[in-house]
C-alpha cells in the first residue's frame, strides 16, 4: 500500500528492478503520489498493477486482498505531513488508524485461509516513523525500547497504528514486522517537506520559511537506504519485532538549509551566498518536536544494515535531481498530476 508515494515509489522501483516479483499497489493517489515514475520504467510492464482504493474503505480493501492473493504486504499508505495533521487531524485518524485497522483485518481473514506452507512465508510489514517516540532533549537517542510519546496528530495516529499492528500479532498471531524510521530525503519527495521545499524555493528565488529559531534537529536518511533496510528486515527480521532505522546523521534545520542553498547556488553557477537572504524565520510549528535521533544498533548488529550514502553525497545527488527534474517539481506542486489521475484512473 502507498506504493505511489515518496518512499513507496522507491521501494516499488527497487523491487521491480532487483526481483521478479509482481506488485499490486493499493493507493488512492492523493496529492503526494506519483505513478508516472513507476510506469516509465520498463520492468513495470505486466508486473505493476494499481488498485486505486482508499484504505478507509474496509469492503474494497478486503475485496482487493482476496483478489490479489499477496505473498507479502508492505503497508506504507498514510497521511504523512505534520502541518497538514494540525489543520485536519480527522483525515489522519481515518487513514492512519482506521485504514491500518482495515489492512489488518483483511490480512488476517486472508492469512487464516492460507495453506500452512503459505502461512509460513506470509508477513505484513508496517512502515512507521520515529515520531511515535516524541521529542528528545539535546542528548540521547530513540531505540526500540523507548516509550511511545507522540505529540502531533500525525505522530499520535502513527503510534496508534503501531499499537494495532502489534496487537494483531499477539492476539491473532498475524505475522508482522514494524519499522520506525527517521526523516527521509531524496528524489520524488513532495515539495511540502523541508528539503524539497527549500530546494524549490531556492531555485525560484522565493523565501524559505524556517520555523521558530531553526534549531530543531532531524536525523536524515537517504530514501534508497530506507528501501534497502525494509528489504533486509522483511527477509531477515524476526516476526513480531520492531526495528529502528536511522542515518547517524543529525542536522539542525538552519544548518541543513544553508547546505542546501549553497549546493543549489553552486550547481546553478550563482555567486556564493547569493540565496542566503531567502532564509526567513517564521512562526514556529505548534508543538514542534525539538529533536529526533535514531539508534539503529539493533538493525546494524542483528541484520548488518548500515546507511550506504554519506550525507554530502546524498544531498548533492538530491539537489541535482530536482534541478534536472523541474518539470516534475512544477507538475506535482501545481496539482497537474492530480487532474491527470482523476481522468485516467476512475475508481
Q: Does 180 bind ligand DAU (CB under 6 A)?
A: no
Alpha-carbon distance of 27 to 29, in angstroms, equals: 5
Give the residue among 192, 199, 226, 222 at the shortest CA–CA distance from 324.
199
* Cα-Cα end-to-end distance for the chain: 16
For the question of residue 284 being annotated catalytic, the response is no
Task: Give the CB-nearest residue to ligand DAU.
Answer: 129
Query: Which of 37-45, 52-60, 78-86, 142-150 is the region at the interface with ligand DAU (rule: CB under 6 A)?
Result: 78-86
Q: What is the number of other CB atoms lying within 10 angstroms of the CB of residue 273?
A: 11
Binding characters for ligand DAU, 202-241, by CB under 6 A (x = yes): -------xxx----x-x-----------------------
Judge whether 196 and 322 are in contact, CB under 8 Å: yes
Judge whether 332 and 34 are in contact, CB under 8 Å: yes
Task: Give the CB-nearest residue to ligand NAD.
Answer: 5
Q: How do 48-51 and 73-75 pair as beta strands?
A: unpaired
Q: Which helix (H) or strand (E) holds 91?
A: helix 89-92
Per the residue annotation, which of 131, 219, 231, 289 is the catalytic one?
A: 131
33 binds, among ligand NAD, ligand DAU, none (CB under 5 to 8 A by kind): ligand NAD
Query: Which of 57-65, 77-85, 112-120, 337-345 is the region at the interface with ligand DAU (rule: CB under 6 A)?
Result: 77-85
Q: What angle do CA 291, 297, 302 make, to 5 degrees?
A: 150
Using DSSP's 3-state secondary structure scheme, residue 320 falls into helix
**Which residues in 16-75 contact ligand DAU (CB under 6 A)?**
none
Q: State the nearest-atom distance from the C-beta of 201 to ligand DAU, in Å.
A: 9
For the question of residue 154 being annotated catalytic, the response is yes
Q: What angle do CA 307, 279, 219 make, to 5 degrees?
A: 20
**Contacts to ligand NAD by CB under 6 A:** 2, 4-8, 27-30, 32-33, 54-56, 76-80, 95, 99, 127-129, 158, 181, 183-184, 190
For the question of residue 130 being annotated catalytic, the response is yes
Per the residue annotation, which of 27, 34, 54, 130 is the catalytic one?
A: 130
251 binds, among ligand NAD, ligand DAU, none (CB under 5 to 8 A by kind): none
**Which residues in 288-327 contact ligand DAU (CB under 6 A)?**
292
Q: State the nearest-atom distance from the C-beta of 178 to ligand DAU, in Å.
A: 14
Helix and strand counts by DSSP (H, E) for the chain: 15, 11
Q: Cα separations (Å) of 194 from 168, 190, 229, 240, 241?
A: 34, 10, 23, 33, 31
Active-site residue numbers?
130-131, 154
Binding stretches for ligand DAU (CB under 6 A): 80-82, 129-131, 182-183, 193-194, 197, 209-211, 216, 218, 253, 285, 292
Amino acid at each position: 500500500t502507498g506504493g505511489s508515494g515518496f518512499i513507496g515509489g522507491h521501494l516499488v522501483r527497487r523491487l521491480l528492478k532487483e526481483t521478479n516479483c509482481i506488485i499490486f499497489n493499493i493507493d488512492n493517489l492523493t496529492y503526494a503520489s506519483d505513478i508516472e515514475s513507476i510506469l516509465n520504467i520498463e520492468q513495470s510492464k505486466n508486473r505493476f498493477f494499481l488498485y486505486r482504493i482508499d484504505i478507509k474503505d474496509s469492503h474494497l480493501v478486503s475485496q482487493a486482498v482476496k483478489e490479489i492473493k499477496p505473498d507479502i504486504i508492505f503497508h506504507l499508505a498514510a497521511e504523512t505531513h505534520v502541518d497538514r495533521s494540525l489543520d485536519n487531524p480527522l483525515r489522519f485518524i481515518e487513514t492512519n488508524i482506521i485504514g491500518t485497522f482495515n489492512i489488518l483485518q483483511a490480512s488476517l481473514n486472508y492469512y487464516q485461509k492460507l495453506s500452512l506452507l503459505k502461512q509460513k512465508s506470509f508477513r505484513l510489514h508496517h512502515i512507521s516513523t520515529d515520531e511515535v517516540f516524541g521529542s528528545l532533549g539535546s542528548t540521547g537517542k530513540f531505540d526500540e525500547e523507548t516509550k511511545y510519546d507522540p505529540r502531533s496528530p500525525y505522530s499520535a495516529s502513527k503510534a496508534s497504528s503501531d499499537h494495532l499492528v502489534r496487537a494483531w500479532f499477539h492476539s491473532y498471531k498475524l505475522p508482522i514486522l514494524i519499522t520506525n524510521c527517521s526523516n527521509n530525503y531524496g528524489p520524488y519527495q513532495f515539495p511540502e517537506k523541508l528539503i524539497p521545499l527549500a530546494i524549490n524555493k531556492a531555485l525560484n528565488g522565493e523565501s524559505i520559511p524556517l520555523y521558530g529559531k531553526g534549531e530543531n534537529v532531524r536525523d536524515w536518511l537517504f530514501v534508497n537506504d530506507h528501501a534497502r533496510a525494509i528489504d533486509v528486515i522483511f527477509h531477515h527480521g524476526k516476526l513480531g519485532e520492531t526495528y529502528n532505522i536511522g542515518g547517524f546523521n543529525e542536522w539542525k534545520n538552519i544548518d541543513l538549509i544553508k547546505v542546501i542553498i549553497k549546493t543549489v547556488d553552486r550547481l546553478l553557477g550563482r555567486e556564493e551566498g547569493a540565496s542566503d537572504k531567502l532564509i526567513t524565520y517564521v512562526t514556529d510549528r505548534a508543538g514542534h518536536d525539538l529533536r529526533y535521533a535514531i539508534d539503529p544498533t539493533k538493525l546494524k548488529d542483528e541484520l548488518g544494515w548500515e546507511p550506504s550514502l554519506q550525507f554530502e553525497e546524498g544531498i548533492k545527488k538530491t539537489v541535482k535531481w530536482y534541478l534536472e527534474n523541474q518539470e516534475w517539481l512544477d507538475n506535482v506542486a501545481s496539482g497537474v498530476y492530480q487532474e491527470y489521475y482523476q481522468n485516467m484512473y476512475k475508481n
